[in-house]
Structure 1
Amino acid sequence: MQQHKTKKLSHDELDLVFARIKNLIKKEAKNSSIFITGGTGFFGCWFLESLLYFNEKLKLNIFITILTRDKEAFRKKAPYLFDVPEVNFWEGDIRDFPFPEGMFDYIIHSAGAPKNESRINRFDVFTSGTKRVLDFAKICGCRKFLFVSSGSVYGKNLNIKKFEENLNTIPFYEEGYAELGLAKRAGEFLCYEYSKEYGFEAKIARCFTFIGPYIPLDLNFAAGNFIRDALNGGPIVVKGDGTAVRSYMYMSDLMVWLWTILFQGKSCYPYNVGSEEEITIGELALKVAEVYRRLTGKSIDVVIEKSPDPSKPVDRYVPSTKRSREELGLKQTVSLDEAIEKTFRFYMSR
């Protein structure tokens, strides 16, 4: 299989974030220290690169510490992010990392768990890791703590068109990836209790599905897998029946939403983050193929491995973002077609 290495985000991409929140960042983050978990992952690379861009453009004197399991692995992945004076990479396991010295104004907790571990171990990484980071928050002077939660906290409620934040459901334990939803619910509870006990603000962002540069091409991300299939010459393979309904937000929009929630959101008050523009997985595969044809002039096939079962309800995973839009003034600015094209261009220009 052809390998696709990442490259640094372009200034055009980072300007999509900078132009919308530069005043907010300048007001809130100047001369601050920020601690980030998950800083070498899909979300984390965007957090880090956007912060470095803010520093460059506004001379903000932001100092960033990234918790990582393996510094050398990240050096190989993105050397251009490694040897930067305002960034410190702190090595350790999320569950028991030694606390770095000094004070941190903000903590962004976006760490995941290894996909190849058992559900028990993944649940432990999520919950024990969140508690460890909160234990650090209570002693490091943290003022605002962003917990990157997940739409999976709602479970599979197949009759609900769009998930709203006040939906008090949880995943059934037999559901696929139930450990993620249950652990994120537990993490939200921990954030609430630590915030009340120790006085820092805990912001909760329930994130759905996203697309953009740095999306993994070899994990359980349909959009990333379809882009990988296209880059490898096709066909694009849909593992299921293609009827599942999802929605996709581009990463520059995600960054604007998450920075805004961190700085302006209410404490212990969850916000859904994602797109309301729904699309079936089968339609997404066709759209990826069409964008690829438009960019390269090459047509590729789409193969859907299973036939739909009319007796089964449709698997839906789409947020209502009314709260985020109306209370924080947030909006989606990049269409799905643009998002797919931008992601292709990122990987094609490696």
Structure 2
Amino acid sequence: MSNPHAVVTGGAGFVGSHLVDSLLDDDFEVTSLDNFGSGRPENLEHIKSDRFNSVEHDVRNPFPDLDDADYVFHFSSRASPKDFESHAVEIALANSEGTHNALEFARKHDARTILASTSEIYGDPEVHPQNEEYNGNVNLRGPRSPYDESKRFSEALAVAYQEQYDLDIRTVRIFNTYGPRMRPDDGRVIPNFLSQALNREPLTVYGDGTQTRSFCYVSDLLDGIRPFARAEKETAAGEVINLGSTEEIKILTLAETIIDVLDADSDIVFRDLPEDDPKVRRPDISRAKQLLSWEPNVSLESGIKRTLPYFENELGVSID
């Protein structure tokens, strides 16, 4: 029996490249599709397996001819808030036309599809913590809308494909995730704080720092995605699950924690809060616990320590 073949869009990205590694560890044949807009070829350079193939491709275009695929992991899209304005159209199309192309490819091959959605579909939530039944509070014309609304459309399109074509589509709503291979200039808060601390700069906190997030280390995220993808059709087809940490923390406390873990000599400065920045964000993971017996295990302090060497190497600096 041949190894299952998985196609991973965004396979050179932060989460995508770790997903590629985990699938290879699980004896998959893996094809990565990435246009290297935000994904980085060096995230895949360590892979020597003959079961891996990297194809430069933009998902906004129809997929190239590939061998039969058993799984499609649609993980392509810029996710950094700093890109929401400068790459707004690209983001909106990656999550609309790109999802259309991914689902058409899946339909052609009758492939099980795992769709990467996001906690951003909940917007600035009025329900806390956020469960999968909550429809969100999103500004459809705000600065975050190209990402937020296109991800919401991506889910709607997936549901339509599943109902009309009887495809097995599973959706993962990913909450704030961090770890090695995040770009230092990514713009999300942990890369920002680590880069600023390593460069001996003040850590920039937006607003008064009382807004909350929960941060999931990338290996914990993958430990949820893998069993969700492999679960029996009767258990998981059509399901949507939140994956993320339930360890909620204020952004100001996060800045203080990073300074403490790195023993950094950095001050904290405050800037105006961006428009539509969510006040709270924490997943209800009851469904993932029930379906997969999953919950994250890596503490924030441990995850930061695991992530630090990568940033030191990328920036060419050390906290010592």
TM range (shorter): 0.7 to 0.9
**Equivalent residues of 1:273, 1:321 under 8 A apart:** yes
**Equivalent residues of 1:36, 1:107 under 8 A apart:** yes
Secondary structure of the structure 2 residue equivalent to 1:162: coil
Secondary structure of the structure 2 residue equivalent to 1:138: helix
Out of 277, 290, 293, the residue aligned to residue 247 of structure 2 is: 277
Pairwise CA distance, 1:262: 1.4
1: CA distance, partners of 2:198 / 2:6 = 36
Out of 51, 61, 67, the residue aligned to residue 33 of structure 2 is: 67
Pairwise CA distance, 1:349: 5.7
CA deviation map 1:28-71 (0-9, x unaligned): x97110100010001011011222333xxxxx3x2111101149
**Equivalent residues of 2:176, 2:214 under 8 A apart:** yes
Greater mean deviation of Cα atoms: 32-41 or 234-243: 234-243
Residue equivalent to 2:147: 180
Pairwise CA distance, 1:170: 4.7
2: CA distance, partners of 1:119 / 1:213 = 25
Shift in alpha-carbon separation, 1:118–1:313, aligned structure 2, 3 A: closer
CA deviation map 1:256-294 (0-9, x unaligned): 11112212262222101101111011110110111101x
The residue identity in structure 2 corresponding to 1:184 is K
1:99 counterpart = 2:64: yes
Pairwise CA distance, 1:118: 4.6
Shift in alpha-carbon separation, 1:246–1:84, aligned structure 2, 3 A: same
Report how many residues are paired: 304
Residue equivalent to 2:258: 288
Pairwise CA distance, 1:302: 2.9
The residue identity in structure 1 corresponding to 2:176 is T
Secondary structure of the structure 1 residue equivalent to 2:229: helix
Secondary structure of the structure 1 residue equivalent to 2:8: strand
Residue equivalent to 1:252: 219
Q: What are the residue-to-residue correspondences of 1:35-54 with 2, within 5 Å? A: 35-54=7-26
Secondary structure of the structure 1 residue equivalent to 2:95: helix
Residue equivalent to 2:317: none
Greater mean deviation of Cα atoms: 126-135 or 266-275: 266-275
Structure 1 unaligned segments of length 5 or more: list them: 1-28, 55-59, 294-298
CA deviation map 1:100-142 (0-9, x unaligned): 2321000100001382645344212211100011011111231
Shift in alpha-carbon separation, 1:117–1:346, aligned structure 2, 3 A: closer
Structure 2 unaligned segments of length 5 or more: list them: 315-320
Out of 211, 230, 241, the residue aligned to residue 263 of structure 1 is: 230
Shift in alpha-carbon separation, 1:290–1:30, aligned structure 2, 3 A: farther
Out of 227, 233, 237, the residue aligned to residue 194 of structure 2 is: 227
Out of 167, 182, 187, the residue aligned to residue 200 of structure 1 is: 167
Q: CA RMSD in A?
A: 2.5
1:124 counterpart = 2:93: yes
The residue identity in structure 2 corresponding to 1:149 is S
2: CA distance, partners of 1:30 / 1:243 = 52
2: CA distance, partners of 1:329 / 1:30 = 29
The residue identity in structure 2 corresponding to 1:217 is P
Could you tell me the TM-score, scaled by structure 1's length?
0.80
Shift in alpha-carbon separation, 1:51–1:164, aligned structure 2, 3 A: same
Greater mean deviation of Cα atoms: 29-38 or 128-137: 29-38
**Equivalent residues of 1:242, 1:304 under 8 A apart:** no
1: CA distance, partners of 2:278 / 2:149 = 22
Identity of aligned residues (%): 25
